[in-house]
Structures are given as structure tokens and as C-alpha cells.
Amino acid sequence: MNQIRSRFAAAVAAFCLLLLSVPVLPQSSDPGFPVKRDESRETWRRGGLDMIERSKQMRFKRKKAKNVILFIGDGMGVSTITASRILEGQLRGESGEENSLSFERFPFVALSKTYSANQQTSDSAPTMAAIITGIKTDEGVLSVDQDVVRGDYRTVKGNETMTMLELAELSGRSTGVVSTARITHATPAACYSHTPDRNWESDADVVRHSKEAAEAGFPDIARQMIEFPYGNGLEVALGGGRHNFLPTSSPDPEAPGNEKRNGKRLDGRDLTKEWLAKYGRSNYVWNREQFEAVDSRSTDHLLGLFEGSHMQYEFDRERTGRNEPSLSEMTSKAIDILSKNDKGFFLMVEGGRIDHAHHEGNAFRALEETIELSNAVRIARSKVDLEETLIIVTADHSHTFTIAGYPARGNNILGLVREVGEDGTQEEKPATDKNGKPYTTLGYRNGMGSRPGERSAPTQEEATDPDYLQEALIPFGSETHAGEDVAIFAEGVNAWLVHGVMEENWIFYVMREAFRIDEAKLLKSRK
């Protein structure tokens, strides 16, 4: 029995069956995952020629876009994309390297420079603010310019930066945000709020960080979403973060009687009830059953808060009974509701927990979250007309995630490195370091997986366990972001504007140009 396949299959069998609907990986005496096609000199030549023919037929769609969908893989650097594509292929029993995630087939690709106004390596607040407003700003603030002082609410007024979601509302389009993180977390929050501190998600957070701001009544992020002043408000908001919308007197519906799970709000407001009161034909749901029961045809405003904090990882969601919708399902429902508007829509979808898994040093969950983002992109692409829609897929920043060693093709991407032997086939024994210890293909520059003192080598079983924390060089309580460029993928109307090496904030101008929005005219008409 091949040890790599059998242990890998045991660890992810449920994931294979439920998410990808493919058979459990077969047992075989052949080492590694087999290449599922006959390859020769002609295979590689034909692949190159096919690419040339596809490129010649590429159309530059220069017209006004009705819809724009922006996908953010939070922390989805290039190494994450590479490893995820391999894992997805291996879950189908293939070698994986020749596989492509859904968005990797998009015709237009660029690189994005992710530095912020005051950071070489940035966090999600200034990077998403740059993408959604077109203005780079400082670390820790959301949709305000760099004249704002972090934590000082007095510096916000007059320094707010208009977001693409706000402009879409002003132009009469419908809007939505979908995330597997808290809906008040940095990436989704940058779409609709303006704040000097990304951590001011509830009024309790404002009190904790700045009593002066709290006493002045500066609105927290959850409150800003409910009090959103543009157009007719967000049509769709789906994700986690329920506790930021509920008062301390309100028990969490998933943990009644557990006071530690009550809402966080100190002002006594139940913002979920305010959502229902504010919007006609509206709905609020907090579990999968309620979500599935929502009729998109009769619902114009949908708020879904499926966890007190962040939503579960996809792997854990499947294991615990599927009581939350997947990112793909939320994306599909959002498009069904938003597409009822004849003027079009803007939708931001975030795979937020890619980032969280990387911070924890857990490559398996980070890669699985990336695969689910790819599934969501595939669903979205199938539900819209690319003759009137622009789809962009990118990341806000990267992570210190590495793919190293010299593993043979088809080597288990989660496992120990096994190299190519002198006979050209994969060696049975793992490769070793200078101390004679085996090592994994995946690792981190820093993080929780650091082993103090002499390195203790993992076994294949340990390395392929879903809970394994990949080795890290420098010990940190949480792995950090990385500062290299990330990729941008685009397809549809005006996707050709995505090319070369771009400043991250240029993505906003691509979207605005696709919509043909005259920002100055819209703002003037509002006054």
C-alpha cells in the first residue's frame, strides 16, 4: 500500500466526496499521484500552439459594464495559488501540477504592488481600501486617506474616500458584500465604512480603544453598515460577525444560555432588527436552513450572519454538519438577488479565511479555502453574461508561505519531499536535510510552526494531517503577511485594462472605467 496516498485519502476523504464529488484517492503501489495523460514532446508543443491560437482569438471587450464582481482571496499570494492548484488536482487523483484553478484560465493577468502609504508589507485595511477607493492609505484605517491619524476620530471628517460600492449605489445599481470572515472585518468593511481604526467593529470596540470617540458618538463599523446613506443601502451582506450586531442582553442563537456568547453591543441596539425595519422585502438569517429557505425573487435585502465571529473553515464546516452555507452558495444567492436590478450590480466576495489559516501556520486549510474561492468564481462566471460583466480576482496581500525542496512531480503537496532518483522516477524514501531528517514541501518564513532547538522531523502521517502546522523558521505567535506582488486575474467587459505591473489602487479605476461612472457628476448630483 502506498503510504502517502492512503494517509492523505484518510485525512481528506470527506472533503473529496462532499466538496469535489470525486472518488476517494485510490490505493496503489505506484509512488506519488500519477500523471493522468500521455505526455511527449508533442504534448508540450501542442499546448504552446493552442495557447497562441487562443490568444489570437482573444477579444478586447470595450464597452460599458452592467455588473462588476470583485473576488478577494485574503492573503492569497502566488505560492498559495500554486499549492492550491496542485492540491485540487491531487484530490482528483492526478499529479496536480497541470491543473488550473477556475480563475487561472482568465485571459488577462497582472501583478499588483501591495505596499501601503506607510508600510512595505501591509495588512488588509490599507490594501483593501486602496482596491475599493483608488487611494492608498496608512496601516489600520479603512477608506480614508493618509491624512487620518489612526485612532483619532477627529481626523476623519473631510478625509473619507469614496468606495466603489458607494458609487455603484449612487449610480442606481444594487450592491453586496460576501465574506467568510466577519462582515465587519477589514476587507468587507472597507466597502461601506470609513473609520480611523479597523478594530472598531462594534461600539464596545470603540469604547475599549477610544473613550473619547465613544463619547463623541463616532459610529462603529456595524452601525455604519446599517446606517449606510447611499442609494437604497446594501442589498446583500453575508458572512460572520453576528455579535457585533446584537446587544449584550441578546443571547447568541447558536449558544443560548451562554453569556460569553451574547452580543457585544453596549448601546442596546439590535442591528439585525433595524435592518428588517429599514428595508422592505428584507430578510435576516443566521443558519443554513434559513438561508436556503430565502426566496431570491421576493427578497430585495438579505442580511446573513452565520457566526458570532468568523465563519467556520470549509473543512470544518463540512465535518460539523454543514450548518453554514459555503462561500459558493452565498455567492450564488447574492447574484440571484442583485441581478434583479436592470441597472446592474457591484458585488465583492472575500475568501477571508485563507488569511486566517496562514496566520495559524496551517497550509491545509489555507489551500482548501482557496479551492473554495475558485469554486465560487466558477459559480459566479456561470451565472452572469460576460458580455456585460467584469470579473476580477485578486488578493490584498501575500503570506510568508513557501514551496521548497526538489519534490518529484506528483509528490503529495502536503507531505514530505521525495525527489527524483537517478532512474528518473520518484524515490521511495523522503529527502533529508544536512542532519539526515526529512522535511515537507510547504513551510513558512515565520509563525506558530517554529520548533525551538533541534528540528524534530514530522512523519508522513503527521505532515498530511489537516491540523498539522507547517514548519516555520522564526517563532511568532502568528505568521505574518509578506510584501511581494500578488496576481490580478480578469475576464469580461474591459478586462483588458488589467495588464503589466500595477499599483494596487489602480484596480479601482479599472472597475470605475468598466462601469463608466462619472464620480464627480454623481457626487454633484447628490448635493
Q: How far apart are CA 62 and CA 387, in angstroms?
A: 10
Q: Fill in the amino acid letter for 317.
A: R
Which sign, positive or negative, has the C-alpha torsion 307, 308, 312, 318? negative
102-140 in b/e burial notation, b at 16+ Cβ within 10 A? Answer: bbbebbbbbbbbbbbbebebbbbbbbbbbbbbbbbbbbb
Parallel/antiparallel/unpaired status of strands 481-482 and 398-399: antiparallel
Residues β-bridged to residue 434: none
Cell 489602480 sits at which residue?
Answer: 506
Residue 438 C-alpha cell reads as 526529512
Q: Is 432 helix (H, G, I), strand (E, B) or coil?
A: strand
Q: How far apart are CA 402 and CA 400, in angstroms?
A: 7
Residue 422 C-alpha cell reads as 537517478
Residues β-bridged to residue 178: 238, 349
Determine contact, residues 184/222, Cβ cutoff 8 Å. yes
Q: How far apart are CA 338 and CA 351, in angstroms?
A: 19
CB atoms within 10 A of CB 54: 11
Determine contact, residues 463/416, Cβ cutoff 8 Å. yes
Going by C-beta distance under 8 Å and a sequence separation of 6 or more, which residues neighbour residue 357? 313, 363, 364, 365, 366, 369
- List own/partner pairs for 22-25 with CB under 8 A and 24 or more apart: 22/91, 22/92, 22/93, 23/93, 25/90, 25/91, 25/93
Residue 53 C-alpha cell reads as 491560437
Please pick, among 124, 179, 339, 374, the residue that the annotation labels catalytic. 124
Residue 475 C-alpha cell reads as 517563532
Q: Is 124 a catalytic residue?
A: yes
Q: How far apart are CA 55 and CA 49, in angstroms?
A: 10
Q: How far apart are CA 85 and CA 70, in angstroms?
A: 20
Determine contact, residues 187/72, Cβ cutoff 8 Å. yes
Determine contact, residues 493/65, Cβ cutoff 8 Å. yes
Neighbour-count burial of 286, counting CB atoms closer than 10 A to its CB (0-12 exposed, 13-18 middle, 19+ buried): buried
160-182 in b/e burial notation, b at 16+ Cβ within 10 A? Answer: bbbbbbbbbbbbebbbbbbbbbb
Going by C-beta distance under 8 Å and a sequence separation of 6 or more, which residues neighbour residue 55? none
Catalytic residues: 124
